[in-house]
């Protein structure tokens, strides 16, 4: 019954607290339901597409969730389930959801602009360039961490004896004494991706009712998983990394409805059903009063510190997206804000989307409490600790210690055991369900993140090369037309210089420099979406193929939450300029800044012990630290300048 009480309490705090706190924020922001959104004013059928709120919520939630709210708690629960649960609930309610709502709302108010472009308006070109470089590095780390996790999930095998399957079973393919379970998720990924353009054509082009599309999506998901059972795909991890990289290279440039929206819309039904199944499993298991023998302890700070470092900042960083994530601001300012039909939709999608993600993390913690014994968990997720401190117990239980941390296996086995506790089904059934659920969250983030990286790279070219004719017109547009001398710069509604949704559309100089020969062709190349997408994919692969799994996750999570601190600080400055209260953005922003800065220093010391082996991640850490310091002082300077102005001059 403990698990059930925890589940109800967490849902109550997130739900009730979220309703009241989000409305409080809406009043402070001045939310206006009648104000036209960028999707309505700039509808172009490619990036700006007015879309029903449930569809945008599905796309946004599938994009932001990723592996973080699942793998983060799996890794961090080594500190004990009590500290992990407290951070997920309170962090999600007052920091994560606040960050997501503020960044989505501000991006919508600013014409669908990215967080980098908004920073340029407020703090200037130098800050914009620094922040954009940081965002590109951070997104490459996000993509690399999720690409590696995807490859592990899609190629996973589980020990035959741990699944409690009869030797005569034919449901799963067996390779030696291992059951090939990842291939089933692999085929489902392929099937869903293939059907995605048809789904997008239905609800965007033909305006088919959302509920009808949802029914079809459920059928597609069921069919994809069934096909995977009979025709599993077996590839090596490197092959999957290259295949996924090819897919996101294409998906990053085509209209959002072809893959991005439609694939997320289909796949999110697996996520919704999977979350519902997790809740039902936990309720039934709790009512039966059963849990794994020797389960996860309530507190385990000492072993957690040995595995991951001090609980602060260790646990607060590793849980990542389950409590707060800066990546969400990129989704909000990159694709989500370009699809909203009203300002209240920013609150419903931004704030409640994060709460749903936090609740998913709560469910994962519950599944680990019910379905994971401490020894099995350590053998799978933290094998170094298991081998060092529990070698005798492992030998007596005849357990296998993983060669390296396998977080996917730890989650899948916990789900399998929880399903057995609740319904008496074979462990293999639950493990398969957990694997499919996890893979659904992983792949949906990759295509969104690569597209956002492409946007940022294009913004860099636009900033530095706007003086040339090829970049004096929107990226991707036809040849620039004649420019009229003395054409005035348009002004925004707030009296500040207008900057459209992306810097692709910023007007260049009155008479840009004409280019010919090789330079002209180079500039043409830099304007092509597939070239910029290829740069994004190359950065992702560079980190994925050279960074260790544990180290990569830590620096990804740190940079991700550093971006959340930056997003909250920018939101506070944006509010101050409009003479609004900003403490609800400033306080959590400073807390996250202190946490992430400490983590970056700790990681830097660790990477420096083996600079050759950690060259890629060490370089990334140094770049992030330098940029973070510069952005901090630039923000302080802007805030001081604001408070020095007379009230009549502040905005």
- DSSP letters, 51-67, are --HHHHHHHHHHHHHSS
Cα-based angle 119, 125, 128 (whole degrees, multiple of 5): 40
Q: Which residue has the tokens 């050759």?
A: 612
Range with the largest mean pLDDT of 41-55, 309-323, 383-397 = 309-323
The ranges assigned to domains in the chain are 2-461+532-649
| Residue 503 in this model has a pLDDT that exceeds 70 | no
Q: What is the pLDDT of residues 359-370, one digit of tens each?
A: 999 999 999 999
pLDDT at 292: 57
Per residue in 589-615, pLDDT tens? 999 999 999 999 999 999 999 888 888
Q: Please give the model's pTM, rounded to 2 decimal places.
A: 0.85
Is the sign of the CA dihedral 420, 425, 430, 432 positive or negative?
positive
Q: How far apart are CA 111 and CA 503, in angstroms?
A: 12
Q: Indicate the pLDDT class of residue 432, thresholds 50, 70 and 90.
A: confident
pLDDT value at position 290? 65
Secondary structure class of 390 (helix, strand, coil):
coil
**Average per-residue pLDDT in the chain?**
85
pLDDT digits (tens, 9 = 90+) for 1-37: 678 889 999 999 999 999 999 999 999 999 999 999 9
Q: How far is CA 434 from CA 59, 88, 154, 367, 576, in A?
A: 21, 20, 12, 10, 45
DSSP string, 572-606: HHHHHHTT---HHHHHHHHHHHHHHHHHHHHHHHH
Predicted local distance difference test score (pLDDT) of residue 273: 85
Among 243-257, 286-300, 548-562, the least confident range:
286-300
Cα(154)–Cα(329) distance, integer angstroms: 28
Average pLDDT over residues 202-210: 79
How confident is the model over 219-237, as pLDDT tens digits? 988 888 888 877 777 778 8
Q: How confident is the model at residue 199 (pLDDT cuts 50, 70, 90)?
A: confident
Q: Which CATH architecture has domain 2-461+532-649?
A: Up-down Bundle (1.20)
DSSP character for 290?
A: -
Please report which confidence band the pLDDT of residue 486 belongs to, taking 50, 70 and 90 as the band edges. Answer: very low
Tell me how far apart the alpha carbons of residues 539 and 426 are, in angstroms, rounded to a whole number: 42
pLDDT tens for 90-121 read: 999 999 999 999 999 999 999 988 888 899 88
């Amino acid at each position: 019954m403990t698990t059930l009480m925890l589940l109800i309490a967490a849902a109550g705090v997130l739900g009730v607290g979220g309703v009241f706190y989000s409305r409080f924020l809406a009043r402070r922001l001045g939310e206006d339901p009648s104000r036209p959104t960028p999707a309505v004013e700039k509808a172009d059928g490619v990036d700006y597409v007015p879309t029903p709120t449930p569809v945008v919520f599905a796309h946004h939630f599938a994009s932001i969730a990723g592996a973080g709210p699942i793998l983060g708690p799996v890794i961090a629960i080594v500190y004990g389930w009590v500290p992990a649960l407290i951070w997920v609930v309170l962090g999600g309610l007052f920091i994560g959801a606040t960050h997501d709502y503020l960044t989505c709302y501000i991006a919508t108010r600013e014409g669908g602009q990215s967080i980098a472009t908004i920073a340029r308006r407020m703090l200037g070109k130098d800050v914009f360039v620094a922040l954009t470089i940081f965002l590109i590095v951070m997104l490459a780390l996000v993509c690399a961490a999720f690409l590696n996790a995807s490859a592990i999930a899609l190629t996973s095998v589980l020990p035959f004896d741990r699944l409690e399957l009869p030797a005569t079973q034919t449901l799963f393919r067996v390779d030696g004494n291992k059951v090939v379970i990842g291939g089933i998720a692999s085929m489902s990924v392929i099937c869903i991706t293939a059907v995605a353009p048809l789904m997008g054509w239905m609800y965007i082009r033909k305006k088919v009712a959302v509920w009808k599309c949802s029914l079809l999506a459920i059928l597609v998901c069921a069919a994809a998983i069934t096909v995977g059972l009979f025709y599993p795909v077996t590839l090596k991890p490197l092959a999957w990394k290259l295949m996924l990289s090819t897919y996101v290279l294409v998906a990053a440039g085509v209209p959002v409805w072809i893959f991005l929206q439609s694939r997320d819309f289909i796949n999110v039904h697996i996520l919704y059903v999977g979350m519902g199944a997790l809740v039902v499993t936990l309720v039934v298991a709790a009512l039966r009063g059963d849990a794994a023998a020797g389960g996860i302890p309530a507190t385990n700070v000492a072993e957690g510190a040995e595995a991951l470092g001090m609980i602060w900042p260790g646990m607060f960083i590793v849980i990542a997206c389950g409590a707060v994530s800066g990546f969400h601001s990129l989704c909000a300012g990159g694709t989500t804000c370009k699809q909203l039909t009203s300002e209240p939709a920013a609150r419903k999608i931004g704030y409640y989307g994060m709460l749903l993600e936090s609740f998913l993390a709560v469910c994962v913690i519950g599944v680990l409490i019910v379905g994971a014994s401490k020894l099995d968990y350590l053998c799978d997720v933290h094998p170094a600790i298991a081998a060092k401190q529990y070698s005798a117990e492992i030998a007596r239980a005849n357990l296998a210690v993983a060669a390296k941390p396998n977080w996917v296996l730890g989650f899948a086995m916990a789900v399998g055991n929880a399903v057995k506790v609740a319904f008496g089904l074979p462990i293999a059934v639950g493990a398969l369900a957990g694997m499919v659920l996890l893979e659904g969250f992983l792949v949906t983030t990759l295509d969104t993140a690569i597209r956002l990286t492409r946007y940022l790279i294009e913004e860099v070219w636009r900033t530095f090369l706007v003086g040339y004719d090829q970049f004096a017109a929107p990226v991707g547009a036809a040849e620039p037309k004649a420019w009229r001398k003395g054409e005035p710069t348009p002004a925004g509604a707030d009296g500040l210089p207008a900057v459209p949704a992306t810097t692709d559309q910023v007007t260049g100089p009155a008479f840009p420099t004409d280019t010919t020969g090789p330079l002209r062709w180079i500039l043409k190349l830099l304007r092509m979406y597939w070239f910029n997408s290829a740069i994004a994919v190359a950065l992702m692969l560079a980190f994925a193929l050279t960074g260790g799994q544990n180290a990569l996750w830590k620096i990804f999570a740190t940079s991700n939450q550093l971006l959340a601190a930056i997003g909250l600080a920018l939101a506070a400055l944006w509010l101050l300029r409009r003479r609004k209260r900003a403490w609800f953005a400033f306080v959590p922003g400073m807390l996250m800044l202190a946490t992430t800065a400490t983590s970056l220093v700790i990681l830097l010391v660790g990477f420096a012990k083996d600079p050759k082996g950690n060259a890629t991640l060490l370089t990334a850490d140094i770049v992030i630290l330098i940029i973070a310091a510069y952005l901090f002082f630039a923000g302080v300077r802007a805030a001081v300048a604001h408070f020095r102005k007379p009230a009549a001059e502040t905005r």
